[in-house]
Amino acid sequence: MDERRRLIADACLALVGAHGVRALTHHRIDDQAGIARGSTSYYCRRRVDILRLALERLYALDLADIEAMVAAVPDSLRDDPAATAEAVAGLVVHWLEDEHRPRSIARIELFMAASHEPDLQPLIGRQFATIAQAVQPLGGRPATDGLGRAAAAFMLSEGLMLNVLRQGLPAPSRQQVADLLSLLGPPMTADVAEG
């Protein structure tokens, strides 16, 4: 993504995080980004183009955070359910802190907006598949449906973040999130799956 598109996308995330997806107008994005009026419409003619650009930037930011999280877990602990829960909990709490909360709000708003845009649904699917693959080193053997423990932890965490954000609650502690994620338990083994 070139610098101008990144500037526009960051402005989109800031607007959605502060005011909701309805705030995404070409002029408001231009003003938020501090660029000349008409710049956003040059790059994004339609609303769906704005949403796509914002989702692509959100994905890049989230993936960078997730890759850093995975890299921070020592190889010796990558198959440990408690280490997976602890790592994911740390990232969830980070995303719910005041500084990053608007991006988490934007994530939910953009995902909901994308659910009404058939052109964006394949993009969301590809992004989730890439993130699930990025966390696979923490997930051990996948369950029978192919969803690793770490990917399942992120799915559960999204529900937790939605609940915290929609009620305006403070971020839970890392330990509270880790305790919730520990409910996932170890992945299913082949013996259990076949029995």
> Element (H or E) spanning 6, and its range?
helix 3-19
How is the chain split into domains, by residue range? Answer: 3-186
The predicted pLDDT at position 81 comes to 82
Residue 139 has what pLDDT? 67
- In angstroms, rounded to a whole number, what is the distance separating the alpha carbons of residues 73 and 176? 19
CB 40 within 8 A of CB 47: no
Q: Which amino acid is at 72?
A: A
Eight-class DSSP state of 170? P
In contact, 39 and 33? CB cutoff 8 Å: yes
Kindly report the CATH number that applies to the domain delimited by 3-186: 1.10.357.10
pLDDT per residue as tens, the chain (195 positions): 899 999 999 999 999 999 999 999 999 999 999 999 999 999 999 999 999 999 999 999 999 999 999 999 998 888 888 888 899 999 999 999 999 999 999 999 999 999 999 999 999 999 988 988 888 888 655 444 456 777 788 888 888 999 999 899 999 999 999 988 887 765 433 333 333
Q: Which amino acid is at 97?
A: E
Which pLDDT score, from 0 to 100, does residue 192 have?
34
Q: Which amino acid is at 11?
A: A
Report d(CA 71, CA 85) in Å as an integer.
Answer: 15
Cα separation of 59 and 28, whole Å?
Answer: 22
Q: How many CB atoms lie within 10 A of CB 183?
A: 9
- Please tell me the predicted confidence (pLDDT) of residue 191: 37
pLDDT at 147: 61
